[in-house]
Amino acid sequence: ERYSPRQVVERLKLLDRGRVTVQEIENVARHWAEASIAGRRRGTGGVLTYWGIGYNQMLHGQHNTISIINLHLLTGNL
């Protein structure tokens, strides 16, 4: 099922208290897509994600890490 940026913002309101905007989601999606396309054109692959040790040691660290991995899987950036 696809979600519009507005639907994502609505679903996030309970978690982030309205801090994420439609424009931010659109900007992140645009940057991710542009990096993926540019990398594939160069033959070097798509997007590479780095994070520090603290990222996975937060309260929901495992879920954060799984979300990044799922994003890479869903967009073909493996």
Distance of CA 42 to the CA centre of its chain: 22
pLDDT, greater one: 6 or 15: 6
Per-residue model confidence as pLDDT tens digits over 30-61: 998 888 888 888 887 778 888 778 877 888 88
DSSP string, 58-77: STTHHHHHHHHHHHHHHTT-
pLDDT at residue number 78: 77
How does pLDDT run across 15-32, given as a tens digit for each residue?
877 788 999 999 998 998
pLDDT at 1 over 70: no
